[in-house]
Amino acid sequence: MAINVKEISVRDARGGERSLGEWAGQVLLIVNVASRCGFTRQYAGLQKLQDTYGPQGLAVLGFPCNDFGAQEPGTLPEIQQFCSSTYGASFQLFDKVHATGAKSEPYTTLTQAEPAGDVAWNFEKFLVGKDGTVLARFKSGVEPDSTELTQAIEAALAA
């Protein structure tokens, strides 16, 4: 069964409710991010994806998450400051979420997409097509500039 994110409601960085349906017609890369993780350097690659593919319709959506090794302890303003000053990251960040255990959206829904199961660590990536359908899932070790991920993004943008 295809999992669709259009009806998912999430909290933005200001605490307001946003529907992922607001991004209908765009390809989404949804990532659980953390500032003190071995994969934190991926912020730079995620921003490069936003810069490269954003004009073609990609939106990188970052969801700070403190579930794995307590590697995202900061407040949202601290996280935003860190991301922009350290990595030049300006892609959209949302309120902190839980990606495992008592999950919060978007992960309650995303983790039902095949291959179903809990998020394993920070910087796991979900690729969502223009129609809101989850197309692919990439583990933390898949770098933002990997051929596997960029080819999937390009195919989703061309669809």
Strand arrangement, sheet containing 92-93: 92-93, 58-64, 27-33, 125-128, 134-138
Residue 67: pLDDT band by 50, 70, 90 thresholds?
A: very high
Point out the catalytic residue in the list 20, 34, 37, 113: 37
Q: Which residue has the tokens 């039902």?
A: 112
pLDDT digits (tens, 9 = 90+) for 73-84: 999 999 999 999
* Average pLDDT along the chain: 95
- Is position 83 annotated as part of the catalytic site? no
Give the pLDDT score at 1.
Answer: 63
Q: At what angle do helices 147-158 and 42-53 cross, to 10 degrees?
A: 30
Please give the domain boundaries of the chain with CATH numbers for all domains: 9-13+23-134 (3.40.30.10)
pLDDT digits (tens, 9 = 90+) for 84-116: 999 999 999 999 999 998 889 999 999 998 889
